Structure 1
Amino acid sequence: MPGTGHFCLNPCVGDNRGVNLQPTALADVPAGDIRLIVSDLDGTLLDENGQMPEELWAIVRELHDKGIVFAPASGRQYWTLLDIFDPIRDGLTVIAENGAIVMHDGEEISSLGLDYDTAAAVVRRVREQKDEGINGALVLCCQKTAYIERTDEDFTRNVIPYYHNTTQVPDLLSVISGMENGTWDDKLLKVAQFDYDDVSISAESSMGRFSHTHQYVVSGKNWADLMHVDVDKGPAVAALQRRLGVTEEQTLIFGDFLNDLGMMKHAAYSFAMANAHPQLLAAAHYVAPPNTEQGVLKVIRELVL
């Protein structure tokens, strides 16, 4: 899914399926030298309406003054995240595309690309589906921009909210072959399929056939993604820790859903939101107040500032 971390289309309030653990008493959390804070967005940092708490900007600036790195981790495009975090975009560290790419102050820290042959096969199959009457299209998600070849206004209106930096091209296969032979200067990260109807049906034949060798995720009614098999927020956090010289004992992480599970393994201070999925609540060391109560900010204020 382009916008919400690939597993949750809307803010994940209530995804704990009845599990309602009380937030950890922060006075009981041992003090530590936290140098890195990583937070998921939907269902975690954002409120129940998908809005960013205004207090965040001042808090991140205060963290920066203390030499502490704050990094959003999301399924969204890197450029989209820069726009979302525009008030603090200078020097911003970002885990984007669900971990496919990590950027620190405009510098690539790590990335895992999708192979060209698989991407080309998906493009060809989706074109066949158009001839079969399926109403959908692909987004070729790359480091510099997202490429689309379908240009009607209704389709682009569905794409732009998730991919702020989008480029229309006449032929996605030409872009893929150009990247492969070095004549097109970009790096392929994933392909995303949009379907006006049920994408789980159309994407099963275009992407699902690669699920044994790649990471294939249907993230809602209309969107599905195909990525390198090792793409995950967990390895992305580990790469960022190595780059910054930060240990797990110096890392604070927040998440709410299954695509955040990998991150929980890389932090001594791992917090699942009180509204989190049961598996995440089981994997995390601590429980933060729900996103509806600005739980991320409450924990940061109490433990770090």
Structure 2
Amino acid sequence: MTAIDLTGVFPAMCTPFHDDADRSIDFETLREDAQRLEAAGVDGLVPVGSTGESATLTHDEHVEVVEAVVDSVDDVPVVAGTGSNNTREALSLSQRAADAGADALLLISPYYNRPEQRGLVDHFETIADEVDCPQIVYNVPSRTGQNIEPDTAVELASHPSILGYKAASGDMNQISEIIERTREADFSVLSGDDGMTLPMLSVGAHGCISVAANVEPERTCAMVGAALSEDYERARNLHHELGPLFRGLFVETNPIPVKEAMRIRGYGPAHVRQPLSRLSDEYLDDLESILAELENPDGEDAFAEVER
């Protein structure tokens, strides 16, 4: 198994779609986006996660997206989302993504069927035993309906192929405990919630899998880099600069707002696949203002004339 450094900023990439009846994948924009993010200095890329609308991609599309991102970049690792609530399906997706060139895998915990903690251990270890690729366990109870408890996370950290934990529980006490109990292991804890990234870094997290980094990769990298270098004054200033964006990207279900932000910035279309819908008009002006302020701190609204 090839080693990977799971430290720094890993944008959770969007999957751009054409404006056609099928919302077919816009691979040209996808490749351009991967190259833009690499040039901005990110530490890795995460396609086909929940931000990438993996739930509405076919398995073949899933693999095609991974292949396109792998082929588009030169020096950054690609961490492919391959989770499912069906262990056999997650195993198949994981193997196919590894064969497509992914450097690591991101595995959301099984959603809807809500396995017990022993079932979670069996699920993740089954995949880790079979697929020779570094793996990150992803805890996001708001989407899955089940929390990965600290004891479970620590047990999984002992597996040689499970090298990371993406934390999006919102429970800082739990996250801190997992960091505390895995400090001596070869194990990275990554923020899955942009607003929690700096607090998590302050207690020993290693970086983030970030939605906001799609829109503001340089600032996100600067914030995380400052915190990792223990320059917390600079990190705090950047955290507060980005705070309105962190909040604005979650006024509706992810990735609805971030795709609208990508459109406003000219990085890609805002089209989503059903059952998701475009951002409500009531939030559009606020999002444009947030992006304009980040682009032009003097307040000049550079995006006011952009057509939706």
Give the alignment's TM-score, normalised by structure 2. 0.31
Of structures 1 and 2, the larger Rg is shown by 1
Give the alignment's TM-score, normalised by structure 1. 0.31
Higher relative contact order (CA 8 A, sep 6+): 1
| Greater share of strand | 1
